[in-house]
Amino acid sequence: MRRLRVQIPLPAFNPMAKMIIKTIKVGSLQTNCYVIVDEKTGEAVVIDPGDEAAKILPAVEGLKVRHIIVTHGHPDHFGAIDEVKKATGAPLLMHGGDEWFLVPDRVLKEGDEIRFGELSLKVMHTPGHSPGGICLYREGHLFSGDTLFAEAHGRVDIPGASAAAMRESLKRLSRLPDDTIVYPGHDESTTIQREKERGTFGR
């Protein structure tokens, strides 16, 4: 007997879908862990669960966490990964360039889209602070990990870092629309325009 293959369609991508962003500062370095939620479906992703799972898990209560994303492989960005994975059952996503720290369930690359509910985040590979550093972009919003901060960029004087790669990554980010809100891995949010005015992207 011939088997019929039934394809279950994914929710349609909706550029107008409302995104809720929760910021939880965790650990001694006050890493920004972000919980991004599609308001309509209650599906969510967790970005950089760096520490203190007890602070992160209440923020995802009642949500369907589809993915856990690590922007780069430094411990202050994944210290609570085991507890968050166990509680949510969600897979770990990260770039293969930092796999010496963690083994992801899905390896990300430039241009990949991470979908949850009607939302989508695009992967930008932005090495410099680490070989596998990524940013996550949705029109008007950039989750920049440790590539770009308010008034600064990630350190390039540590093992695996590259000042030349960081310059190229910052050049890419500087081309994003000026009104893009930047949600960095530490400290407070900023915008592309503000960092242009401050000279953070270099000359």
| Distant-in-sequence, close-in-space partners of 178: CB < 8 Å, separation ≥ 6 | 191, 192, 193, 196
- Residue 11 lies inside a defined structural domain of this protein: no
Residue with the larger pLDDT of the pair 99 and 45: 45
**Count of the separate structural domains present in the chain:** 1
C-alpha Rg value of the chain to the nearest Å: 17
Each residue of 99-111: pLDDT tens digit? 887 899 999 999 9
Owning domain of residue 154: 19-198
- Residue 139 lies inside a defined structural domain of this protein: yes
The CATH number linked to 165 is 3.60.15.10
Each residue of 64-79: pLDDT tens digit? 999 999 999 999 999 9
- Considering only CA atoms, which of 132, 148, 131, 139 is closest in space to residue 183? 148
- Residue 1 lies inside a defined structural domain of this protein: no
- Residue 74 lies inside a defined structural domain of this protein: yes
Instruction: Supply angle C-alpha 11, 15, 21, rounded to 5.
Output: 90
Record the pTM. 0.91
